[in-house]
């Protein structure tokens, strides 16, 4: 089986992908999302320099537990030599594939040539990808990028997709905005379709996929192999379960209030296990997943700094709502 075939098979089995998100898609959140229907995940991006230095951050972000699969490791950096060295090291963790971040628009990343900064020099980007793909074979190497750096009148993604395929890249994820757009404006999925039409490698569509309906529509409109879900999963991780049901023609089951509380409880426990009591504060970024309970619970959770106190608040919530108390554990 070729590299391209192996990742095509992987995406055929796992059409919905949890996107890499800085300080979000760590091991506890990936594990929690798998319980809500996610299967294929990508780690937070890891800087090449951190990997080479074997920093504590890099070790945490590249460590893949047996139950944390299939998962890809995403790396970023501006120096192609360091990226190559880091890729070889990251491959030792035996991810299902290695992804190169060429799409992060944040100025502190793109401004120094990493992430979407590579789009300023597509030829250098292709050569960098070529070297890494050759060095890591047979491990698939993929690239996540945007449709261009900007302005909107200059979108190199279609030609770039061809060149990346020729360089040995096994699959391509396209966030359908320019780097200069950041998260503003609407993602134009047609660019993923145009890129997909000129390559034989799998293309994954990303950007503005907020609901299960968006998943189905993005796949139908682009013909892409998979859809990558990012920010929507932070507040509603059940989007994976709902999208899978919708694609299968099955009823979409909304999370119960009890399920929302249990998800938050399990996530805070996992975060504290990894980070100590700081995990309590880390979990608050997901408070919106509590849905209708947010107005009541958010002020309480934001004032409470301890795990014991947080668990007590969540236990009270379970017992205070009749519908929750009757829900199965």
Peptide bond into 70 cis (omega under 30): yes
Q: How far is CA 252 from the centre of its chain?
A: 23
pLDDT value of residue 325? 47
Q: What is the largest CA-CA distance in the chain?
A: 61
The residue from 228, 247, 266 where one domain ends is 247
Residues 9 and 99 in one domain: yes
Residue 34 inside a domain? The answer is yes
Q: Which of 116, 102, 110 is nearest to 173 (CA)?
A: 102
Can you give the CATH number for the domain in which 242 is found? Answer: 3.20.20.70
102 catalytic per annotation: no
- Return the DSSP state at 75: E
CA 292 to chain centroid: 26
Catalytic residue among 33, 104, 176, 224: 104
Tell me: do 29 and 99 sit in the same domain: yes
Block means of pLDDT (10 residues each) for the chain, length 329 residues?
80 97 95 94 98 96 95 98 98 98 96 96 97 98 95 78 98 96 94 97 98 98 98 97 96 94 96 94 96 96 97 92 54
Number of domains within the chain: 2
pLDDT at residue 16, as a whole number: 97
**What sign results for the dihedral spanned by CA atoms 212, 215, 216, 218?**
positive
Pairing of strands 40-47, 16-18: parallel
Confidence at residue 326, expressed as pLDDT on a 0 to 100 scale: 55
pLDDT value, residue 205 = 98
The parent domain of residue 316 ranges over: 257-325
Residue from 202, 209, 157, 203 nearest 183 by CA: 209
> Which residue, among 35, 319, 14, has the nearest Cα to 6 in the 3D structure?
14
- Using CA atoms, how far residue 132 sits from 157, 161, 185, in Å, is 20, 16, 33
């Amino acid at each position: 089986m070729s590299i391209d075939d192996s990742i095509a098979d992987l995406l055929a089995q796992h059409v919905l992908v949890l996107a890499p998100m800085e300080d979000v898609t760590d091991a506890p959140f990936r594990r929690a999302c798998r319980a809500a229907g996610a299967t294929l995940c990508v780690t937070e991006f890891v800087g090449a320099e951190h990997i080479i230095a074997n920093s504590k951050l890099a070790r945490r972000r590249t460590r893949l537990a047996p139950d944390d699969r299939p998962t890809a490791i995403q790396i970023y950096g501006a120096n192609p030599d360091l990226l190559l060295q880091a890729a070889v090291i990251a491959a030792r963790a035996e991810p299902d594939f290695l992804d190169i971040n060429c799409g992060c628009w944040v100025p502190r990343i793109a401004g120094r040539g990493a992430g979407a900064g590579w789009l300023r020099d597509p030829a250098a980007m292709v050569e960098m990808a070529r070297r890494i793909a050759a060095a890591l074979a047979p491990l698939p190497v993929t690239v996540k990028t945007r449709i261009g750096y900007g302005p909107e009148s200059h979108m190199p993604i279609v030609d770039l997709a061809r060149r990346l395929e020729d360089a040995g890249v096994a699959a391509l994820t396209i966030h359908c905005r320019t780097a200069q757009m950041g998260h503003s404006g609407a993602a134009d999925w047609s660019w993923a379709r145009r890129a997909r039409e000129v390559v034989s490698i799998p293309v994954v569509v990303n950007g503005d996929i907020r609901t299960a309906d968006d998943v189905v529509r993005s796949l139908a409109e682009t013909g892409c192999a998979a859809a990558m879900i990012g920010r929507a999963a932070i507040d509603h991780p059940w989007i994976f379960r709902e999208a899978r049901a919708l694609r299968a023609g099955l009823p979409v089951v909304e999370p119960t209030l009890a399920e929302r509380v249990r998800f938050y409880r399990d996530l805070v426990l996992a975060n504290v296990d990894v980070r100590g009591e700081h995990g309590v504060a880390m979990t608050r970024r997901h408070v919106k997943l509590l849905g209708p309970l947010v107005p009541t619970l958010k002020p309480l959770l934001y004032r409470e700094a301890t795990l014991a106190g947080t668990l007590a608040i969540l236990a009270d919530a379970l017992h205070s709502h009749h519908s929750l108390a009757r829900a199965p554990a």
